[in-house]
Amino acid sequence: METDRGDRHFDTIIIGCGMAGLAAGIRLAMYDRKVLILEKHSIPGGLNSFYSIAGRKFDVGLHAVTNVVPPGHKGTPLPSLLRQLRIPRDAFDLNPQRSSRIAFPGADLRFTNSFGLLEEEVDRQFPGQIEAFRRFRKRILEASPGEGTGVSSRGILAESLPDPLLREMLLCPIMYYGASTAHDIDFSLFVTLWKSVFEEGFGRPLAGIRTIIRALLDRYREVGGTRRMKCGVRRILVDEGIACGVELEDGEELTADRIISTAGEPETRILCGAGEEDPAVQENIGRLAFAETISILSRQPEELGIKDTIVFFNDSPLFHYEQAASDIDLRSGVICCPNNYAYPEGTSLDEGILRVTTIASYENWTAYSQPDYEEAKERWFSRMVESALNFLPGVDPELIRSSTVFRDMFTPRTVRKYTGRLGGAIYGAGRKSPDGTTGVENLFLAGTDQGLLGIVGAMFSGVTIANRHVLMAGRK
């Protein structure tokens, strides 16, 4: 049953049918809580969703599922998450990456889901640095949960690794896969991201993010959870500092003992009555927004010379990761080739896909009139692909152009429109709420702004918040 309009009271209402909302919903429904997920958009997935154009389905967000450890490898987030949701690992169809790279001028670090390759690459390309690198890794692996909160990663890197280029290169994938802050990242988040990217690794379902969303939806339905799609929340009802329900965009009111919001921290503040211009809202809006080009190729990328799964690139020895000063910041970015995962023998994606992600200016992209916006997308598409191809040696740009049969592009404007994220900030607020509390009683944050990152992280966040603030808190 997808809807339950007859009854207006719930144990828990969850705002947002993305990874975190679905995972939280599964946990609560599993233990017989009457739970309702409300989603503004018509398609589930939130920041990790999909869309269709001209018969093709495109993933939003997903380059790689991080935290992908081999089956049987326990004590890390992915197996723990699957247990909590009681979803078999096969349901997510996670195929490991082939090989990824960090590409800077004059240095190129390859890595796979086995840490050994990165270590060899550092040893080979940064003579004299390997002992310091090993000590730095040990420090990360031995960090206790939450250690390094409020501490600059650049500071710790500077005291740990003498070679500045190596420091900048290691920051590049970490920042691109989860930093909501420019230039530097909280060391506790660095530790989490390091493990999810370098120690655990990348994987992807053959059919993309839909496989994971489908597994979550099936499980949620199986345990009796309900949801309403195309059902936006106008405001969260707060009575003397206590959240007690929601008012929907159509005016209907629903009540709940607890509310879990995955809308984001400043976005949730607005739902509680703050204005968008409120300083408390403004100061925590994420300032990093992204654009992405998607090129559909008539041939498998490998035949065109593209062998990597993901390439994190930067055009100078100093890594640029900051708010874009123009429409697009071409100096750094990420190339993703979803074809280049180790899918089972005899299976592959029908068409070649090349995706290029860069930092983009939210202000610029939202200020354009519709015709100017379309024109700017057209213009920047080619420039983004061209700048990325500089980091794919041996790949002929002309051949890529002539093999491109379809293209699409999303910008910070698209992100705002479909996810409601202020500033188009896919990694959310600058300041996270690790315990999920909001200052409003019975209202909790899950997802990106709780501070766990990536697809596995978002689901884990939903589980953690549902456990701590609902299941362990007992019934009202």
Partner 1 sequence: MTKEECKQVVLDIIAEIAPDEDLSNISPDVRLRDQLDLDSMDFLDIVMELRKQYGIEVPEEDYPQLASLDSCAEYLTPKFKEVSA
Site of interaction with partner 1 (CB under 8 A): 30-32, 72, 74-75, 79-80, 83-84, 86, 463, 467, 471-472
Nearer to partner 1, 5 or 74 (CB): 74
Min dist CB 145 to partner 1, Å, is 11
Min dist CB 401 to partner 1, Å, is 48
Min dist CB 280 to partner 1, Å, is 33
Min dist CB 431 to partner 1, Å, is 26
DSSP string, 357-376: EEEE-HHHHHHS-HHHHHHH
Nearer to partner 1, 31 or 151 (CB): 31
Q: Is the dihedral of CA 347, 353, 354, 356 positive or negative?
A: negative
Nearer to partner 1, 53 or 473 (CB): 473
H-run or E-run covering 58: strand 56-59
In whole angstroms, what is the distance from residue 315 CA to residue 296 CA?
25
Work out the angle between the directed axes of helices 153-160 and 130-142 (0-180°, nearest 10).
Answer: 140
Min dist CB 86 to partner 1, Å, is 8
Nearer to partner 1, 27 or 40 (CB): 27
CA-to-CA dists, residue 229 to 33, 39, 226, angstroms: 20, 5, 10
In whole angstroms, what is the distance from residue 425 CA to residue 293 CA?
17
Nearer to partner 1, 32 or 276 (CB): 32
Min dist CB 443 to partner 1, Å, is 22
Nearer to partner 1, 9 or 83 (CB): 83
**For residues 365 and 411, is the Cβ–Cβ distance under 8 A?**
yes
Collapsed DSSP state (helix, strand, coil) of residue 55 = coil
Q: What are the tokens at 152? A: 């600059």
Q: Could you tell me whether strands 443-445 and 35-38 are parallel, antiparallel, or unpaired per DSSP bridges? A: unpaired
**Which of the 8 DSSP states describes residue 204?**
E
In whole angstroms, what is the distance from residue 381 CA to residue 411 CA?
11
DSSP string, 120-169: HHHHHHSTT-HHHHHHHHHHHHHPPTTTTTT-BHHHHHHHH-S-HHHHHH
Min dist CB 120 to partner 1, Å, is 30
Nearer to partner 1, 57 or 73 (CB): 73
> Which residue in 316, 341, 300 sits closest to 391, CA to CA?
316
Min dist CB 446 to partner 1, Å, is 15
**Residue 417: what are its φ and ψ, rounded to 5°?**
-65, -45
Residue with tokens 């152009």: 401
Nearer to partner 1, 35 or 209 (CB): 35
Buried b (16+ CB within 10 A) or exposed e, 421-438: bbbbbbbbbbebbbebeb
What's the longest Cα–Cα distance across the chain? 69
Min dist CB 297 to partner 1, Å, is 39
Nearer to partner 1, 348 or 467 (CB): 467
Nearer to partner 1, 72 or 394 (CB): 72
Min dist CB 255 to partner 1, Å, is 24
Q: What angle do CA 221, 225, 227 make, to 5 degrees?
A: 95
Min dist CB 195 to partner 1, Å, is 16
Residue 34 makes CB contacts below 8 A (sequence gap 6+) with: 9, 10, 11, 12
Nearer to partner 1, 79 or 397 (CB): 79
